[in-house]
């Protein structure tokens, strides 16, 4: 393992210190907690809190700010934050209109956020939650815990955040977030695994000739291993899976997000995007807006995911609404 | 009878085991999860061991509740709420106790497993903590009902727990992160079931040490 770290036990903490030192105008750390909140706390709106393990930077702290999140709770690397941390975030951001928790569909995240919501409700804070599950690689059946929440979660932050900024009620913000979740789909691929500092070695082995399809965002193995192919062929495969699930028809409008896993250069992400746009054009699906970059990473994994979000008039307007955060500006 | 000293000893021994097997549990979790189970459990029990010296004058129920709260606020992941709830629930049935009868020990285990079922909404056979915990508790109950001492019963419990761990190798995970692997989870033992088997091993060792 070769990394810029001082102490494997202190990676999360030192990263948070570095973030706050870099961007004090955007984020403030709650003293004594691993929680980042908006520096300019806005009143009179529903507050939105998200989180999950660390290791997904810029998620989630990078999306705290105007038009997106009010608080982010980064747990230990790839480990859900504990209920007391989430509870602290909820208390800090609540401005009287309630708090929406955006949770990714993982057993740990769900249980920890659920316990935090119980604590907050006991103190009279109105809490609602949504669970993102955009990953089409995982079968949504009785035999799994359901699809995982992956990069599509960022678009939930963006759109629910914009809705909250309009002064909408918690019920309305919740409904809009649910609409995004119902219409967003993602699938990812890894070329090289990632190394959790405390584990000291990669999460799985992958030879130079192989790729891991259906990868999650925590360095866990994917659903299928195949010989590496050309970029266009990989995109064909991922898009096939996404489109089969989403079933868009000619004339539909979508947002596209090409997300890098942490160690894939923009050059390669743009090559992937090129083929994604070709496929959508062939199908007569109109691309309303495209995002290319690292939004939801897996430490130093080489890989990428493709996200499509089917849009209606409301989602289009909210997608373009102003956002000003460390890692996402509109 | 289990004394408060034995309960504290059990927690201490279990904490040592989580440190000792940190890498092993992490390796099991790397195979079918995200490779953090040993790290999570060790982080939690390190915090517990720092807390233990302050708990010496508390009743057993408060000790277990404090351990549970510490786990909930330090472990994270799926195992934090699950182990944390189990210890807290076990505490709630032992209200005011300074000593535990065999029946108290059994009730504590049963409340604990009830807490895990409530929080995780899993049943036996889904490749989770429950697959070593439920058989272990069943074996302890059976052994006690046959007139054995708690030490003998805990020995039977530990054995059943490890059999449960072996059984997890043969089944597909349908709960937790490992469920994303589908068939690919077969052949691997469940990290959570393994850490739970060490809990029964720790309980057995604490009972044996006290020489009953
Ligand atoms: N619903 C459940 N009920 C009981 N046990 C569960 C459940 N879900 C997962 N587990 C247990 O949790 C273990 C994994 O714990 P671990 O500490 O690695 O958390 P995690 O799932 O990786 O959490 P996170 O996703 O937040 O990192 C599994 O091996 C399994 O035994
Ligand atoms: Mg894990």
Same domain, A59 and A206: no
Which residues, judged by CB distance below 6 Å to any ligand atom, belong to the binding site of ligand 1? A 78-80, 106-109; B 29, 33-34, 36-37, 40, 77-79, 82, 116, 120-122, 128-130, 175-177, 190-193
Q: Is A218 a catalytic residue?
A: yes
Determine which of A215-219, A244-248, B79-83 has the lowest per-residue pLDDT on average.
A215-219
Instruction: For residues B141-159, give the mean pLDDT.
Output: 97
Mutate to test the interface with B, among A145, A186, A197 (most CBs of B within 10 A): A145
B210 contacts: CB under 8 Å, gap ≥ 6: B2, B3, B5, B6, B9
pLDDT band at A142 (very low <50, low <70, confident <90, very high): low
Same domain, A202 and A115: no
Residue A206 lies in a domain: yes
What pTM does this model have? 0.91
Query: Are A79 and B26 within 8 A, CB to CB?
Result: no
Q: What are phi and psi of B98, to 5 degrees?
A: -110, -10
Chain mean pLDDT for chain B: 95
Q: Which domain holds residue A36?
A: 8-183
Cα(B67)–Cα(B79) distance, integer angstroms:
14
Mapping DSSP onto H, E and C, the string for A209-245 reads: CEEEECCCCCCCCCCEEEECCCHHHHHHHHHHHHHHH
User: For chain A, how many structural domains are there in total?
Assistant: 2
A298 contacts: CB under 8 Å, gap ≥ 6: A55, A56, A190, A194, A215, A216, A217, A218, A219, A261, A262
B2-210 belongs to which homologous superfamily? DhaL domain (1.25.40.340)
Same domain, A142 and A205: no
pLDDT at A16 over 70: yes
Domain stops at, among A162, A183, A204? A183
Same domain, A178 and A191: no
What is the four-CA torsion angle of B182, B184, B188, B189, rounded to 10 degrees?
-10
Length in residues, chain A:
330
| Minimum CA–CA partner of A110 in chain B | B78
Residue B212: per-residue pLDDT = 59
pLDDT at B1 over 80: no
For the stretch A297-319, pLDDT in tens is 999 999 999 999 999 999 999 99
Neighbours of A329 (CB within 10 A): 12
For the stretch A200-245, pLDDT in tens is 888 888 999 999 999 999 987 788 899 999 999 999 999 999 999 9
Higher-confidence residue of A311 and A42: namely A311
Same domain, A37 and A108: yes
Cβ contact A219:A196 at 8 Å: yes
**Ligand 1 mean position, distance from CA B47 (Å):** 20
Q: Which has the closest alpha carbon to A100: A179, A26, A27, A171?
A: A171
pLDDT at B179 over 90: no
Percent of chain A scoring above 90 in pLDDT: 91
- What are the tokens at A86? 């989430």
**CA-based torsion, B116, B117, B121, B123: positive or negative:** positive
Residue A140: per-residue pLDDT = 66
B146 contacts: CB under 8 Å, gap ≥ 6: none
Same domain, A315 and A196: yes
Domain stops at, among A160, A183, A206? A183
| Minimum CA–CA partner of A142 in chain B | B174
Domain stops at, among A183, A201, A234? A183
Cβ contact B173:B179 at 8 Å: yes
Same domain, A154 and A197: no
Residue A327 lies in a domain: no
Same domain, A165 and A192: no
pLDDT band at B35 (very low <50, low <70, confident <90, very high): confident
Same domain, A117 and A176: yes
């Amino acid at each position: 393992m070769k990394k810029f770290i001082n102490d494997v036990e202190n990676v999360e903490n030192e990263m948070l210190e570095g973030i706050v030192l870099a961007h004090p105008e955007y984020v403030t750390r709650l003293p004594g907690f691993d929680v980042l909140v908006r520096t300019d706390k806005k009143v009179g709106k529903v507050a939105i809190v998200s989180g999950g393990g660390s290791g997904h930077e810029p998620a989630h702290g990078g999306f705290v700010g105007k038009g997106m999140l009010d608080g982010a709770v980064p747990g230990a690397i790839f480990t859900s934050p504990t209920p007391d941390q989430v509870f602290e975030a909820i208390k800090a951001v609540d401005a009287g209109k309630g708090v929406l928790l955006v949770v990714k569909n993982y057993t740990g995240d769900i249980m920890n956020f659920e316990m935090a919501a119980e604590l907050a409700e006991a103190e009279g804070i109105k809490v609602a939650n949504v669970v993102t599950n955009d990953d089409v690689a995982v079968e949504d059946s009785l035999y799994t815990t359901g699809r995982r929440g992956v990069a599509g979660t960022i678009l939930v932050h963006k759109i629910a955040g914009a809705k909250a900024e309009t002064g909408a009620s918690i019920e309305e913000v919740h409904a809009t977030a649910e609409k995004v979740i119902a219409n967003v789909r993602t699938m990812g691929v890894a070329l090289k695994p990632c190394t959790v500092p405390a584990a000291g070695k990669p999460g799985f082995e992958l030879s130079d000739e192989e790729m891991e399809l259906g990868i999650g965002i925590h360095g866990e193995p994917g659903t299928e291993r195949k010989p590496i192919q050309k970029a266009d062929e990989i995109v064909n495969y991922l898009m096939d899976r996404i489109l089969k699930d989403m079933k868009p028809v000619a004339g539909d409008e979508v947002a596209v997000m090409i997300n890098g896993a942490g160690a894939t250069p923009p050059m390669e992400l743009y090559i992937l995007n090129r083929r994604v746009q070709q496929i959508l054009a062939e199908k007569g699906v109109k691309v309303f807006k495209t995002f290319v970059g690292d939004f939801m990473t897996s430490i130093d994994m080489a890989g990428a995911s493709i996200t499509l979000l089917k849009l209606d008039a409301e989602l289009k307007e909210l997608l373009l609404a102003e956002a000003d955060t460390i890692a996402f500006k509109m | 009878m289990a004394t408060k000293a034995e309960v504290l000893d059990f927690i201490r021994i279990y904490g040592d085991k989580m440190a000792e097997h940190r890498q092993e549990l992490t390796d099991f979790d790397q195979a079918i999860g995200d490779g953090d189970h040993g790290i999570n459990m060790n982080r939690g029990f390190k915090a517990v061991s720092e807390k233990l010296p302050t708990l010496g004058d508390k009743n057993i129920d408060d000790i277990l509740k404090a351990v549970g709260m510490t786990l909930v606020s330090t472990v994270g992941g799926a195992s934090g709420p699950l182990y944390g709830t189990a210890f807290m629930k076990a505490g709630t049935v032992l209200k005011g106790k300074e000593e535990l009868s065999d029946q108290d020990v059994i009730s504590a285990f049963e409340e604990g497993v009830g807490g895990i079922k409530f929080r995780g909404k899993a049943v036996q056979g889904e490749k989770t903590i429950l697959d070593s915990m439920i058989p272990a508790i069943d074996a302890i109950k059976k052994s006690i009902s046959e007139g054995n001492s708690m030490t003998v019963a805990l020995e039977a419990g530990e054995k059943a727990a490890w059999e449960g761990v072996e059984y997890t190798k043969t089944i597909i995970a349908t709960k937790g992160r490992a469920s994303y692997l589908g068939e690919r989870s077969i052949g691997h033992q469940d990290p959570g079931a393994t850490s739970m088997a060490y809990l029964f091993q720790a309980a057995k060792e604490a009972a044996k040490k006290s020489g009953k």
